[in-house]
Amino acid sequence: MANPVLLVHGGAWAIPDDMVEAHTNGVNNAAGAGWRALEKGGCALDAVEEAVAVLENDDTFDAGRGSFLNRDGKVQLDALMMCGATLRAGGVGCVERIKNPVRAARVILEKSPHIYFVGEGAERYAEEHGVTLCDNADLVLPRELERWKQAKEQSYLTVPSEFCGPTNSHDTVGAVALDAEGNIAAATSTGGTLNKAPGRVGDSSLIGCGCYADNDTAAASTTGWGEPMMKLVFAKWATDQVTWEHSPEEVAPESIRHLHRRLNGHGGIILVDRQGRVGIAHNTPRMAWALRRHEHSSAGVKFPN
């Protein structure tokens, strides 16, 4: 039997002072929901699903309701979850009518022989397996509509540094967990980048890029500028570095250094292994996180290592 651990993140960027409390409360609430699942005897998949669903429902973050709008003024969502015991995974990309894409990802992981569904096909599969669809308008906030209008006026995204830098909002969310049976899991969910091209899929929902879990190594969830993470298959690269001699605490900052050194990438990562060792690292001004384990809990907006 293992001592359960749950680690949650709510994005890595220059979180403004007036948004720190909302981010801290958000990740705290998510960690609470995931931890309750573990306390009831749930598995690591239950924990990461419940934690991420809370973050998708919190419009502080770029996931679920309140996500950034794409170039067409719509919310398009991506999510993935993965089981470290079986290496089964489930993911959705570019869905527009699913409030909690992490729940659709769980359905795919458990019920489909496939790993990944996109767009209308993902929505159809989810609905056929009990996920209630919503109108895209239900996911759009007036705040994001205004932000989108300003972005279009400023020709936002024409220069990579305008959307890839460490100060721009990257509120992708995720969680990693270890359950009492000694199994680990990971989940990541996002609304992507502001004014992105319709159909663009980032790293978050791609297996091994924004999310990965393997009982032989570790579970990882990432946040930040997606394209460099995809090029490096970043989550898989990071988990592969975890060994008995090299803990997640050591690997997390080294992974972020690798991301920056190789491709000038910016973002953050959380890791947990089967020994219950955790790692948190980022090279952005701040990162929102929360940790739960027996007789210990903590949360905050972490400064760089």
Beta bridge mates, 296: 293
Residue whose pair of structure tokens reads 């990257």 in the numeric block: 170
pLDDT tens per residue across span 167-179: 455 689 999 999 9
Is pLDDT at 130 greater than 80 in this prediction?
Answer: yes
Is pLDDT at 159 greater than 50 in this prediction?
Answer: no
State the pLDDT at residue 168: 55
Inter-helix orientation angle 119-128/101-111, to 10°: 70
State the pLDDT at residue 169: 55
- The pLDDT mean for the chain works out to 93
pLDDT tens per residue across span 177-208: 999 999 999 999 999 999 999 999 999 999 99
Claim: this prediction has a pTM higher than 0.85: yes
Q: What percent of the chain clears pLDDT 90, i.e. is strictly above it? A: 88
pLDDT tens per residue across span 211-259: 999 999 999 999 999 999 999 999 999 999 999 999 999 999 999 999 9
Q: Largest alpha-carbon pair distance within the chain? A: 56
Q: What is the number of alpha carbons within 13 Å of residue 275 lying toward its C-beta?
A: 13
Cα 202 from Cα 67, distance rounded (Å) = 14
Confidence category of residue 301, pLDDT binned at 50, 70, 90: confident
Cβ atoms of 97 and 135 within 8 Å: the answer is yes
What secondary structure, in 3-state letters, does 258-284 show?
HHHHHHCCCEEEEEECCCCCEEEEECC
Confidence category of residue 300, pLDDT binned at 50, 70, 90: low
Residues carrying an active site annotation: 172
Is pLDDT at 141 greater than 70 in this prediction?
Answer: yes
Domains defined along the chain, listed by start: 5-302 (3.60.20.30)
Q: What angle do CA 51, 56, 61 make, to 5 degrees?
A: 110
Reduced to 3 states (helix: H, G, I; strand: E, B; else coil), residue 211 is strand
Using CB atoms within 10 A of its CB, is residue 81 exposed (0-12), middle (13-18) or buried (19+)?
A: buried
In 96-170 the beta strands, taken as DSSP E runs, fall at 116-118
State the pLDDT at residue 163: 45
pLDDT tens per residue across span 31-90: 999 999 999 999 999 999 999 999 999 999 999 999 999 999 999 999 999 999 999 999
Is pLDDT at 124 greater than 90 in this prediction?
Answer: yes
Mean pLDDT of 21-28: 96
